Structure 1
C-alpha cells in the first residue's frame, strides 16, 4: 500500500499492513519510494502518514480507543 509522508511529501510503501491497521501501533515499517535506488525500510509514525490524495488515515487505524471518544 502506498501512502504519503507529510514531512517530506514523498510516497512510501507500507511494508506491514497489519501494523498499519492496528490501532494500538503508533508506528509502521515503510520504504520511501524516491530516487533510483530504494533506501532501506525505516520506521515511521502513523501521524506523519496520509493517503496520496491528502486524506488522513481513518481514526480506527490510529486510535485504539476511538469508540470511547
Structure 2
C-alpha cells in the first residue's frame, strides 16, 4: 500500500499492513519512492503519513485507546 509523507508529499510503500493498522505501533517501516530506484527501508512515524489522497489515517490505526475515547464521547452525549 502506498502512503504519502505529509511534509514532503513523497510516496512511501508500506508492505506490512498489519503494522500500519495496529494502533499499538507508533511507526511503520516503508520504502520511499523517490526517483527511478526505490530507496532503502526506513521507519516512518504514523502521524507523518496520510493516504495519497491527503486523507488522514483512521483514528483506530493510531490511537490504542480509540475504543475507550470513542465510547466515552458517545456516552457523554446521552
Question: Structure 1 length as normaliser, TM-score?
Answer: 0.94
Whichever of the two has the greater Rg, that structure is 2
What does residue 63 of structure 1 align with?
63
* Gap regions ≥5 residues in structure 1: none
What does residue 9 of structure 1 align with?
9
* Gap regions ≥5 residues in structure 2: 70-78
The structure whose RCO (Cα within 8 Å, separation 6+) is larger is 1
User: What is the number of equivalent residue pairs in this alignment?
Assistant: 69
Distance 1:24 1:38 in 2: 27
Counterpart check, 1:51 vs 2:51: yes
**Structure 1 segments (4+ residues) deviating >3 Å:** none
Q: CA deviation at 1:18?
A: 1.1
Q: CA deviation at 1:31?
A: 0.4
Question: Structure 2 length as normaliser, TM-score?
Answer: 0.84
